[in-house]
Structure 1
Amino acid sequence: MSRRTLGLALALALLSSCGEAQDTAGGAAAHLGPPGIPASRFPGPVRPVASVVSDQWAGEDARERVGEAERVIGWLGIRPGQTVADIGAGSGYYTVRLAQRVGPQGRVLAQDVVPQYLARLRRRVADLPNVSVGLGEAGDPRLPPASTDVALLVHMYHEIEQPFALLANLVPALRSGARVGVLDVDDATPRHGTPRALLACEMAAAGYRQVAFHWLLEQPPRSEYLAVFEPPATPPVPEAIRPCTP
């Protein structure tokens, strides 16, 4: 068996066991995949890290009026049958819409680092069999290996305590041809945004290459954007990463 075939087999086994782990834990938060490289090996970001203050960015009705999810899902080319990781899923605005887009043959891996958010999210998606909910870590999304076609990080990149560790540990979960989308606001991290140049620099430091950029909403001084990246073939060496200056 090749290494890639073995990885895919392991991913399928982990996906199938995820629901069992949640059931036997009585709804307690469980990881979706094995641990990666310890976050302690990576440098921290030079810029401030915003605090986690809510499980939603804005009211869902307001987001629907501007067609946010439909536009983002379209820009990322998400198709039926794919597996999408909603990293920092929060209240599940994208999770439920992604589940509808990928359909019964697809999968949504909804991940967050706040157990209380996951408890509410699990109740929201209880009737969606193609959604798995799991607990991540500050520097590790804890996703199954070779499981993900698209990873989406929505209004949470500026809250990641160990961004270089998370980006490195995301790589093994990504399939060939995978894309990573980051939705954020072109503003300083203390104001719950990520300057687009800073995001591009930090992603490049972890080996990611930007392949697309879209303005979702331009209302200065808070302009919302989607940046799309291609991951490196292998995780970066932690000691080789150089943090970016804001």
Structure 2
Amino acid sequence: MLLLAGGCNLFKQEDDGRPDTAREFPRAYRPVSNLGGNSVSSEQARDDRREAQTVMDLANIRPGMTVADIGAGEGYYTVRLASKVGARGRVLAQDIDESAIKRLGIRVERERLDNVSIKLGAEDDPRLPEKSFDRVFLIHMYHEVSEPYAFLWRLRPALRPGAQVIVVDRDRPADQHGIEPKLLFCEFDHVGFRLVEFVRKPELAGYYAQFEAVGDRPEPQDIEPCGQPGAKETKKPS
């Protein structure tokens, strides 16, 4: 297990609470769920309904891949991805909660997951190395991202050609620990991602959405925030 320093996690902030590093990006016109309030089933219950296996199958995870688990928390997906990509693959587990990172580090050491690295991220930046990942997973956490445009914009350079970004979440308002698909599609679209697959699965207690980066990354000042009158919408593929 390799623990990667995430840099200083302190931001100079104005009265509105936004980090200075996000101010060139538009504000999100939606509520944000509290960190750590997302109640999910036990790992055994999730395995019983084949949640992780379903997601990994949909994402076509194969041995030798390099993947990122963003908002890794206690490591439910991290440890299963580590097994799936095998000794030739790599998993980077990231979270912005320092206590969660410490607990996950203990678990990774205990389970001897030599192909897992751990990194501290930020609310507006996943802090991923460039051109490094075949898949990036955002599992039951995107609704907690307070700066989605900055976050997704800074995530894009980490993708290899043909890489996919995977979101699993609940179809409910963002302040109720979910995000409505229509809003999810819009936010990704406005940072230059195309929706390539969307399915609802009872195994996931929600939906699965898969995106790929297309075209050039927009300049921060050119990103149009979703939720404003006249903002364009993105529909799922037919």
> Is the pair's TM-score, using the shorter chain for normalization, greater than 0.5?
yes
Alpha carbons of structure 1 residues 146 and 56: separation in structure 2 relative to 1, 3 Å: farther
Does the 8 Å contact 1:55/1:90 carry over to 2?
A: no
Alignment of 1:30 with 2:5, yes or no, is yes
Could you tell me how far 1:138 is from its partner in structure 2?
Answer: 0.5
Structure 2 match to 1:196: 181
Alignment of 1:95-110 (within 5 A): 95-110=78-93
Unaligned runs of at least 5 residues, structure 2 = 8-19, 229-238
Give TM-score, length-normalised by structure 2: 0.85
Alpha carbons of structure 1 residues 133 and 233: separation in structure 2 relative to 1, 3 Å: farther
Which amino acid is 2:5 matched to? A
Question: Whose helix proportion is higher, 1 or 2?
Answer: 1
Describe the SS at the equivalent of 2:207: strand
Q: How many residues align?
A: 214
CA RMSD of aligned residues (A): 2.1
CA distance in 2, matches of 1:159, 1:41: 20
Equivalent residue in structure 1 for 2:146, among 161, 176, 179: 161
Structure 1 match to 2:75: 92
Could you tell me how far 1:214 is from its partner in structure 2?
Answer: 1.5
Alpha carbons of structure 1 residues 234 and 107: separation in structure 2 relative to 1, 3 Å: farther
Alignment of 1:117-136 (within 5 A): 117-126=100-109, 127-136=112-121
CA distance in 2, matches of 1:234, 1:129: 35
CA distance in 1, matches of 2:54, 2:36: 26
Structure 1 match to 2:16: none
Structure 1 match to 2:226: 244
Structure 1 match to 2:164: 179
Does the 8 Å contact 1:206/1:241 carry over to 2?
A: yes
Could you tell me how far 1:169 is from its partner in structure 2?
Answer: 0.4
**Any idea what the Cα deviations from partners look like across 1:32-71, whole Å, max 9, x if unmatched?**
9xxxx93221112101011102586321111111110000
